[in-house]
Structure 1
Amino acid sequence: IIPVTGYILKKIFKIKDMGIFELGLVAIFTPIFGMALIVGPVVYAFTVAGMVGINVLVLIIIMLMMVFIISGLGPWFKEE
């Protein structure tokens, strides 16, 4: 399983020599993960804010968490 996963990841991160299967996986999963990372915390923040009523505090916490996550993932994606 691990060699197969490594092979797929190797193919995913080098787009020029990517197969159809890997392209299909990326095309399917990238929007899902992107939407989950961006929309998920925002929707969760507004939902919690609506139920609990501490919307300012929750939104500030969520925004700080998103900033830390994005700033932490940025260099990792650029390195390859």
Structure 2
Amino acid sequence: LLIESIPNPANGKRMIRPIPGDPPNLVNRPSGCAFHSRCPSAMTVCATEVPSLDEVRRGRVACHLHRPLTQEDKVAIHA
């Protein structure tokens, strides 16, 4: 979502895709992930827990969607 908002200098004609909604209030920060109210992939956990910053391939990501699955997650998926 955020990476899509970065302009690509190699392709000047590409439209920048804005992130819908309003940015979080920095004085009164929301609980959980700062983007949960604007994220199309937000899950229940996003509203209550700040995601950890994890290494993924050649970079880092702070998103519950990309966190390693716990045993509890695996059980919930197969339920």
TM-score, length-normalised on structure 2? 0.21
Q: Which has the larger radius of gyration?
A: 1
**Which structure shows the higher helix fraction?**
1
TM-score, length-normalised on structure 1? 0.21
**Which structure shows the higher strand fraction?**
2
